[in-house]
Structure 1
Amino acid sequence: MKAQFLGEFFGTAFLLMIVVGSGIMGHNLSGGNEAIALLANSLATGAGLFSLIKTLGSISGAHFNPVVSLIEYFWGRLTLKKLISYWIAQVAGAIIGVFLTHIMFNQPIFQLALKNRNEPYLWISEIVATFGLICTIALSGKKNVEFAPLSIALYIVSAYWFTSSTSFANPAVTIARALTNTFCGIAHNGILAFILAQIAGAVFAYLLLKNFEKPTIK
């Protein structure tokens, strides 16, 4: 249990350092060109996520995401105690990851995001993004499990671009990104709606997946 908790904590911390750090770097170097900044952000996130899944997948399952852990619980692969432990590790790791990113970029450690993302079209985007993520995780490794990390990473890269919300698809990420007033931030008024949308997307995916042969989430 301890190793799994640490795997989720450090994995989610590094995920947020990758997301927020590449967002800051991309924004700083792009001269205000948001397309270039988003491209840098998405590619770094995909590459980092692939590495994290390959590195920590055998330790904790490499969830790094409360809704992924929730679906694992629904499938009976996590106990309630372990689910809560994973949630604590993921949220704590995400917040620590943001704080460390601020330190690395010589910014104030404690920040509150001001970027408003509290719009209905963005909620729908988060439902779609999370639905697609859960389906990708559950189905991409059914025949060749070794391809799952690459499939997941590539899905996230693409979802940065095909969703209007840039695919948060992760409650821990959403909470932590409310604590950075940078390229990747989300103002506090959008947190609850995003998380509810992410849960809805995950549950819709779970209900659909029940109609298939029981999938394997790694």
Structure 2
Amino acid sequence: MSYRITHRLFAEAFGTATLTAAIVGSAVMASRLTDNPAAAQLCVAVSCSAVLFVMLELLAPISGGHFNPAVSLAMLMQGAVRRREALAYVCAQLAGGILGIVLVHLMFEFPPISIGTHVRNGYAQWLAEAVSTFGLVFAILQGLKLRPQSVPAIVGIYVLSVTLFASTSFANPATTVARAMTGTLSGIRPADVPAFVVAQLGGCLLAVVLIRWLTSETPSASPNRD
């Protein structure tokens, strides 16, 4: 079934808002429930992966379930969406991410918007962002080729894993921009956002290139007529 662009954009904004709210809200809740960093990280990982699975199951049939500008870029490069559609998706994702931050702040009685102060800088964190985004895009694209019905589970399990093994795992320019608008521990200093986004897009491009090489057909060898 083909859905109208307004429905698809709403699905992208709603999905991204829910994902962002789950990330930031679970981090706030975990910090109130425990002083154990490992337990807090596990709480965020489970919340993020679970809500992503649900949103993909429910909204991917409508919009494709990108919820991430890096994914929309990958789909554009794969020819799955048109340029103007991809741009509209990115705008909806950015708006959804900001809405998710505002909702979490209001639920926890914070000001609607606060500037992020958490310093996230340096080659190790940039590499982590490139790696986590590469893995996410690779999982989505290869999953769509080989196991399309399993993509929500594939993505959810990957996100659960990468959130626990990478030093950072934002892996999403929209949530990165949104998290510059929260002063909670899940936030990011605005000055650190551009480098994160560049690393994420670099990981995305590398994943697309690898998928194209990995799935390219090899010409059959000509039979020996001697």
Q: Return the TM-score normalized by structure 2.
A: 0.91
Q: CA deviation at 1:146?
A: 1.7
Instruction: Work out the CA distance in 2 between the residues paired with 1:132 and 1:198.
Output: 11
Equivalent residue, structure 2, for 1:153: 156
Instruction: Work out the CA distance in 1 between the residues paired with 2:115 and 2:75.
Output: 32
Pair 1:125 & 2:123 matched? no
1:76 aligned to which of 73, 76, 79: 79
Output the amino acid matched with 1:68: V
Instruction: Work out the CA distance in 2 between the residues paired with 1:70 and 1:34.
Output: 34
Instruction: Work out the CA distance in 2 between the residues paired with 1:148 and 1:181.
Output: 33
**SS at structure 1 position matched to 2:145:** coil
Equivalent residue, structure 2, for 1:35: 38
Q: CA deviation at 1:183?
A: 2.2
Q: CA deviation at 1:143?
A: 3.1
Equivalent residue, structure 2, for 1:115: 118
Output the amino acid matched with 1:12: T
* Matched-pair contact (CA < 8 Å) for 1:98–1:177: yes
Structure 2: gaps (5+ residues) = 217-226
Equivalent residue, structure 1, for 2:47: 44
Q: CA deviation at 1:140?
A: 2.4
Instruction: Work out the CA distance in 2 between the residues paired with 1:180 and 1:18.
Output: 14
Runs of 4+ in 1 over 4 A off after TM superposition: none
Structure 1: gaps (5+ residues) = none
* Matched-pair contact (CA < 8 Å) for 2:101–2:113: no
Q: Return the TM-score normalized by structure 1.
A: 0.95
Instruction: Work out the CA distance in 2 between the residues paired with 1:144 and 1:119.
Output: 36
Equivalent residue, structure 1, for 2:200: 198
**SS at structure 1 position matched to 2:213:** coil
Work out which of the two has the higher radius of gyration on C-alpha atoms and give 1 or 2.
Answer: 2
* Matched-pair contact (CA < 8 Å) for 2:11–2:62: yes
| Percent identical residues | 37
Pair 1:86 & 2:128 matched? no
**SS at structure 2 position matched to 1:164:** coil
Q: What CA deviation, in whole Å up to 9, does each residue of 1:171-208 have, x standing for no partner?
A: 00100011111121111121000000000000011111
